[in-house]
Structure 1
C-alpha cells in the first residue's frame, strides 16, 4: 500500500475517532435544557441533573477534541493542497465551528466559578450553542466534501458560502445533529443513575427514531451518486447498528445501546471516506480538476517521516485515553453532587464557630 493511501486511511480513522467520541459530548451539551430540568416530584433539582450531565463528560471532552486537532494537523502535513482548498473554501463554516468550540470550552470551564444562578444559565447557553452548532455544521461540511464542490483547475474553491447550504448538505447537518443527540442521550443513560438515567434513555429512543429516518435518506442520496460496493455495505451496517442500539435501549441495556450508536457513527463516517476515495475533494465542475490522494499529497519523504512519528506516538495516545475512560467508568448519581454552599452561609457558620471558641 502506498504512503498516500496509508495517510488517507489514517486521517479517516482520526475523523472516525473524533466523531464517535466528541459526538456524545456534543449531544450531552446540547441536551442540557431538555434533560437538565427539575423532576416532576421536585425531588431532584435541574441544577443537580445538569451537574450530573456535565460531570459525565467532564473528564473526557477536552481530550476528545485532540482527535480534531490531530486530524487537522495530519491533513496539513500529508495533503497540503487538500488542507489549503478545504480551509479557504470552507472558511466561514469552519470559523463558526472554531468559535463555537471556544464558546463551549469557556462555558464548561467557567460555569462553576461564580455562585450565581444567572451566571450558570449564561454558561449553560454557551455550552448548548457551542455543542449544537458544530454538530450541525460538521454534517454540512462532510456532505459537501463527499458530493463535490466547485473547484477549478488551479485547485481553488470558486463557490460561495451559500453554495454549501444546499438541501442535501442541510439534511446531512440534521443527520449529524440528531445522531449526536441520540449518542449523547444514551451516554447520559450509561453514565448516570436515578431518574435522569431513565429520562435520558427514553429521550434517546425518541431521538434515535428521527435520526434513523433522516440517516437512511441522507446515506441513500450521498451514496447514490458517489458510493461503491464497500461504502454501501458500510452504510447498511451503520443502519443495522443504529437499530440494534435502539433495541438495546428499549430493553434497558444502556451499554449495548451506546455501543450501537458508537458503531453507527463510526461506520457511517467510514462509508463516506470509502465513497470519497481516491478523491479527497471532488470537483463538481470537472472531475479532472478534483483533488486526489496523489495530486494533493506531500512528498514521499515527508510522508515517510510522518509515518515513523505516527507509529511511535499513536499507541501512547490510545493507551492514555483508554486509561482515562477506564478510570472514570463509574456512574454519577445525584448523591455524588455536593450540596451548594452559599458564601453568606459560610460566613455565618464561620462567625458562629469563632464566637463559640
Structure 2
C-alpha cells in the first residue's frame, strides 16, 4: 500500500477519533440548559467532561497537523477556501474552553450564566459547522486549475451542506445525552436517557437523508456498507437507551459517528477535495501529497507516538470512569480545580 493511502487512512482515523470523543463534549455543552435544572446539576454536567475535554481536542490539532505535513496542497486549499467557517469554529472553541476555566472563578449567578451561554454557543456552533464543512469537502467545491477555491461562504451554505450541519448537530447532541446518562446518576440520568431516545430518532431521519444524498452523489460500495452499518448502530443505540442500557447506548452512538465518518472518507477517496468546476482540477491523494521522504519520516513518528497518546487517553477515561451525582458536588467555592467547576 502506498504511503499516500496510508496517510489518508490515518487522517480519517484522527477525524473519527475527534468526532467520537469531542462529539459528546459538544453534546453535553449544547444540552446544558435542557438537562440541568439548577446550578448543582449544571456543575455535574461540567464535571462529566471536565477531566477529558482538553485531551479530546488534541485529535483535531493532530488531524490538522497531519494534513499540513502529509497533504500540503489539500491543507492550503482547504484552509484558505474554508477560512471563515474554520475561523468561526476556532473562536467558538476558544470561548467554550474559557467557560470550563473561568465559570468557577467568581461566585456570582450572573457570571456563571454568561459562561454557561459561552459553553452552549461554543459547543453548538462547531457541531453545526463541522458538518457543513465535511459535507462540502466530500460533495465537492469549485476549485480552479491553480488548486484554489473560487467560491465564497455562501457557496458552502448549500442545501446539502446545511443538511450535513444539522446531522452533526443532532447526532452530537444525541451522543452527549447518551454520555450524560452513562456518567451521571439520579434525576439527570433519567432525563438524559429519555432525551437521547428522542434526539436519536431525529438524528436518524436527518442522517439517512444526508448519507443517501452523499452516496448517490459520490459514494462507493465500501461507503454504502459503512453508511448502512452506521444507521444500524444508531437504531441499536436508541433501542438500548430505551431499555435502560446506557453503556450499550453510548457504544451505539460512538459506532454511528465512527462508521459515518469512515463512510465519508471512503466516498471521498481517492480525492481529498473534488472540484465541481472540472474533475481534472480535483485534489487527490497523489497530486496533493508531500514527498515520499516526508511521508516515510512521519510514518515512523506515528508508529512511536500514537500508542503513547492512545494509552494516556485510555488511562484518563479509566481513572474518571465512575458516575457523578449531585451529592458528589461540594459547596461552591471561588476557586476550584480546573478539571471542572
2:33 maps to: 33
1:133-144 pair list within 5 angstroms: 133-144=125-136
1:317 maps to: 309
1:19 maps to: 19
Give me the whole-angstrom Cα distance separating, in 2, the residues matched to 1:290 and 1:273: 15
Name which of 230, 248, 251 aligns with 1:256: 248
Name which of 152, 161, 171 aligns with 2:163: 171
Give me the whole-angstrom Cα distance separating, in 2, the residues matched to 1:232 and 1:194: 40
Write the deviation string for residues 278-337 of structure 1: whole angstroms up to 9, x where unpaired. 000000011110000000000000000000100000000000000000000000011100
Name which of 192, 198, 201 aligns with 1:206: 198
Give me the whole-angstrom Cα distance separating, in 2, the residues matched to 1:341 and 1:173: 38
Give me the whole-angstrom Cα distance separating, in 2, the residues matched to 1:87 and 1:342: 40
Give me the whole-angstrom Cα distance separating, in 2, the residues matched to 1:341 and 1:223: 52
Give me the whole-angstrom Cα distance separating, in 2, the residues matched to 1:54 and 1:60: 11
Deviation of 1:341 after TM superposition, in Å, equals 5.6
1:352 maps to: none
Write the deviation string for residues 83-116 of structure 1: whole angstroms up to 9, x where unpaired. 0000000000000000000000001110000000
2:187 maps to: 195
Deviation of 1:36 after TM superposition, in Å, equals 1.4
Write the deviation string for residues 169-212 of structure 1: whole angstroms up to 9, x where unpaired. 00000000000000000100000000000000000111001000
Give me the whole-angstrom Cα distance separating, in 2, the residues matched to 1:49 and 1:243: 28
Q: How many residues are treated as equivalent by the alignment?
A: 335
Give me the whole-angstrom Cα distance separating, in 2, the residues matched to 1:314 and 1:342: 38
Give me the whole-angstrom Cα distance separating, in 2, the residues matched to 1:99 and 1:333: 32
Give me the whole-angstrom Cα distance separating, in 1, the residues matched to 2:332 and 2:303: 47
Give me the whole-angstrom Cα distance separating, in 2, the residues matched to 1:2 and 1:277: 14
Higher relative contact order, structure no. (Cα contacts within 8 Å, ≥ 6 residues apart): 2
Name which of 261, 266, 289 aligns with 1:269: 261
1:83 maps to: 75
Name which of 290, 299, 303 aligns with 2:282: 290
1:281 maps to: 273
Greater gyration radius: 1
1:49-88 pair list within 5 angstroms: 49-88=41-80
Query: Which 5+ residue runs of structure 2 have no aligned equivalent?
Result: 336-341
Give me the whole-angstrom Cα distance separating, in 2, the residues matched to 1:229 and 1:82: 25
SS at match of 1:248: helix
Give me the whole-angstrom Cα distance separating, in 2, the residues matched to 1:274 and 1:242: 19
- Contact conserved, 2:105 with 2:334, CA < 8 A, in 1? no
TM-score, scaled to structure 2: 0.97
Give me the whole-angstrom Cα distance separating, in 1, the residues matched to 2:48 and 2:188: 12
SS at match of 1:284: coil
Give me the whole-angstrom Cα distance separating, in 1, the residues matched to 2:255 and 2:329: 31
Give me the whole-angstrom Cα distance separating, in 2, the residues matched to 1:219 and 1:19: 17
SS at match of 2:318: helix
Give me the whole-angstrom Cα distance separating, in 2, the residues matched to 1:271 and 1:247: 23
RMSD: 0.9
Deviation of 1:59 after TM superposition, in Å, equals 0.6
Give me the whole-angstrom Cα distance separating, in 2, the residues matched to 1:229 and 1:2: 21
User: Structure 1 pair 342/107, CA: closer, same or farther in 2 (3 Å)?
Assistant: closer
TM-score, scaled to structure 1: 0.93
Name which of 142, 151, 159 aligns with 2:143: 151
